[in-house]
């Protein structure tokens, strides 16, 4: 007897044991500039994001990370001029408060980007500090806010009209490094966190460039992050912090010692990362996945991983995966990165297979809703290209990448052990991998066929999974065939099936 089963995409029942402060969300990274314009100036804005919350919720994204929204002279806004404001091109503080409220009414958590390594050179702190140095007043309190030196050196830029230099780790961008040892700067950071967490109500922060806080000094960075995490817990318990430590697994493991909830899993991302390697493997792709997962477990244990394939800096997933002409490949990569567990992050547009590489603006193109409802492209774009159909078309196509991502997100919401469960590798051969996740009385059995071309049969009883009792089946391939007599499952190429007990 064979039957086909598929996932019902009905209203969600999020188990009560999953709390509002849960870090294991389906996180969605948004570049506000390129997402949705609401006032006709062509630039995406906060009200534009608000108007797309239906879409975001429908897609099953339960957490939003907004790239920087504070006032800044640049289009990307990683150089802040006021840590207590909203950039006027994005809207007003009232708009932002309304967005926070709308998100929370929908059960969506909202975190914002927090660049603390540096400010803008136009920040009043830096302007005052440089003026003071020009006038020989080195005791001005603002001088202590930055890393000034009278010695020239790498990453040190002259302060015009003085014999002083300032540290700038991200050179050329007008982004002077803050002096994070300064008690006054730490007091400012505390005020900034208190304001956004408690006055405005955000649910946490994405911490930009944490390896540059104290350049190449992991120990001091970890100490600073421990201070940040403790302070955040004091201000608002359960807030989520996720750090950008763009480095290898063993160093990322050291950063986790700070107590910060998550660090992006860069070793999974990009063309050379774990996910792309699995996708490209000519032999033993299942073994490659298991061994990558095992490396991550060995380094990070059961901490909250933050896997992703691409973000605003890395170039988009479809390029890294060489998936321009294979939607199956793009889907499967989404499938296996989500099946790693943890707090997964999806960069806006990845759900429709947007492309972009090279110059930063190319990786931050206008969200392709349809041909008439797009923002202007960010300044400096040198290549505009969309490899896959727009959102509207993909919404209407059951087989689209978008609908695959939507099903995937909803499955993870219905089966919380996938993201949170303790993992056991139950079985793997060259093409098939079976993992068991256990969390809060729930067991999920994840069966994956890594072969791009061949069906695979797998006998579930070999893994000790009995089909007796209630069992839900969620299928991630066009069809899954299950013989209940022999407990044999036939997986289509790139098929993923999850059994839940």
C-beta of 46: minimal distance to Ca ion in Å? Answer: 9
Smallest distance, Å, CB 440 to Ca ion? 41
Give the list of residues 6+ apart from residue 406 with CB closer than 8 angstroms, or none.
Answer: 9, 58, 59, 60, 351
Q: The dihedral of CA 257, 258, 261, 265: what is its sign?
A: negative
Sequential DSSP letters for 239-283? -EEEE---S-HHHHHHHHTT--SEEB-GGGSSTTSHHHHHHH-SS
The smaller minimum CB distance to Ca ion, of residues 70 and 489, is found at 70
CA 119, CA 144: separation in Å to the nearest integer?
A: 14
Q: Which is nearer to Ca ion, 190 or 220 (CB)?
A: 220
- We find the least distance from the C-beta atom of residue 227 to Ca ion, in angstroms, to be 15
CB-neighbour burial class of residue 52 (10 A; exposed 0-12, middle 13-18, buried 19+): buried
Q: Distance between CA atoms of 357 and 413, rounded to whole angstroms?
A: 31
Residue from 177, 208, 351, 414 carrying the catalytic annotation: 208
CB of 37 to Ca ion, least distance (A): 4
End-to-end CA distance of the chain: 22
Concatenate the DSSP letters of all residues of 113-174 into one string: EE--SB--TTSHHHHHHHHHHHTT-TT-GGGGGB-EESS--TTEEEPTTSS-EEE-SSTTS-
Opening angle at CA 350, ends 106 and 55, nearest 5: 25
Cβ proximity to Ca ion, 23 vs 48, nearer residue: 48
User: For residues 29 and 177, which CB has a smaller minimum distance to Ca ion in the complex?
Assistant: 177
- Asked if 366 and 385 touch (Cβ cutoff 8 Å), the reply is no
**Residue 451's closest CA among 431, 468, 466?**
431
Give me Rg for the CA atoms of the chain.
24
CB of 149 to Ca ion, least distance (A): 13
Check 177, 203, 244, 334 and give the catalytic one: 244
* Cβ proximity to Ca ion, 87 vs 414, nearer residue: 87
Quote the CA–CA distance of 31 and 387 in Å, as a whole number: 19
Are the C-beta atoms of residues 495 and 433 closer than 8 Å to each other?
no
- The question of whether 208 is a catalytic residue gets the answer yes
Task: Return the number of the residue (212 or 449) whose C-beta is nearest Ca ion.
Answer: 212
Q: Is 300 exposed, middle or buried (0-12, 13-18, 19+ CB in 10 A)?
A: buried
Shortest CB 375 distance to Ca ion, Å = 8
Report, in Å, the least distance between residue 103 CB and Ca ion.
Answer: 19
The site for Ca ion (CB under 5 A) is made up of: 37, 39, 41, 43, 45, 117, 177, 212
Task: State the greatest distance between any 2 C-alpha atoms of the chain, in Å, as a whole number.
Answer: 87
Whether residue 244 lies in the annotated active site: yes
Task: Supply 259's token pair.
Answer: 């107590």
Cβ proximity to Ca ion: between 43 and 130 the closer is 43
Smallest separation, CB 484 to Ca ion (Å): 55
| 3-state SS string for 204-243 | EEEECCHHHCCCCCHHHHHHHHHHHHHHHHHHCCCCEEEE
Backbone φ and ψ for 84, nearest 5 degrees, come out as: -120, 15
Q: Which is nearer to Ca ion, 76 or 436 (CB)?
A: 76
Which residues participate in catalysis according to the annotation? Answer: 208, 244
């Amino acid at each position: 007897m064979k039957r086909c089963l598929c996932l019902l995409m009905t209203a969600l029942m999020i188990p009560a044991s999953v709390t509002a402060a849960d870090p294991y969300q389906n996180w969605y990274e948004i570049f506000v500039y390129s997402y949705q314009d609401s006032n006709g100036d062509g630039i995406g804005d906060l009200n534009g994001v608000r108007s797309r919350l239906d879409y975001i919720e429908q897609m099953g994204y339960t957490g939003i990370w907004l790239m920087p929204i504070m006032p800044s002279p640049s289009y990307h806004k990683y150089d802040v001029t006021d840590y207590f404001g909203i950039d006027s091109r994005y809207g007003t503080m009232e708009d932002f408060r309304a967005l926070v409220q709308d998100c929370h009414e929908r059960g969506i958590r909202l975190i914002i980007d927090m660049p603390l390594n540096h400010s803008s050179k136009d920040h009043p702190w830096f302007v005052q500090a440089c003026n003071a140095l020009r006038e020989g007043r080195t005791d001005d309190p603002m001088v202590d806010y930055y890393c000034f030196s009278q010695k020239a050196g790498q990453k040190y830029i002259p302060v015009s009209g003085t014999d002083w230099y300032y540290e700038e780790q991200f050179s050329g961008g007008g982004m002077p490094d803050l002096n994070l040892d300064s008690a006054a700067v730490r007091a400012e950071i505390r005020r900034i966190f208190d304001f956004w967490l408690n006055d405005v109500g955000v649910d946490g922060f994405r911490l930009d460039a944490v390896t540059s806080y104290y350049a190449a000094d992991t120990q001091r960075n970890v100490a600073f992050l421990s201070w940040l995490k403790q302070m955040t817990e004091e201000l608002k318990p359960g807030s989520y912090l996720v750090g950008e430590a763009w480095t290898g697994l063993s160093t990322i493991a050291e950063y986790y010692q700070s107590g910060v909830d998550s660090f992006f899993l860069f070793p999974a991302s990009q063309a050379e990362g774990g996910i792309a390697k699995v996708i490209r493997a000519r032999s033993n792709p299942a073994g490659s996945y298991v061994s990558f997962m095992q490396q991550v477990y060995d380094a990070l244990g059961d901490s909250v991983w933050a896997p992703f394939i691409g973000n605003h800096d890395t170039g988009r997933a479809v390029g890294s995966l060489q998936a321009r002409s294979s939607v199956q490949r793009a889907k499967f990569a989404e499938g296996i990165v989500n099946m790693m567990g943890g707090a997964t992050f999806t960069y806006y547009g990845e759900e429709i297979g947007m492309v972009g590489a090279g110059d930063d603006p190319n990786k931050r193109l206008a969200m392709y809703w349809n041909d008439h409802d797009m923002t202007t492209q960010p300044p400096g774009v040198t290549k505009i290209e969309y490899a896959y159909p727009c959102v509207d078309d993909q919404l209407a196509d059951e087989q689209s990448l978008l609908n695959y991502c939507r099903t995937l997100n909803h499955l993870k919401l219905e089966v919380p052990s996938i993201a949170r469960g303790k993992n056991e590798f139950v079985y793997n051969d060259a093409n098939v991998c079976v993992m068991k996740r256990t969390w809060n009385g729930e067991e999920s059995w994840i069966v994956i066929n890594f072969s791009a071309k061949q069906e695979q049969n797998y006998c579930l009883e070999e893994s000790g999974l009995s089909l007796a009792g209630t069992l839900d089946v969620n299928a991630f391939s066009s069809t899954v065939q299950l013989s209940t007599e022999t407990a044999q499952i036939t997986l289509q190429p790139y098929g993923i099936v999850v059994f839940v007990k």
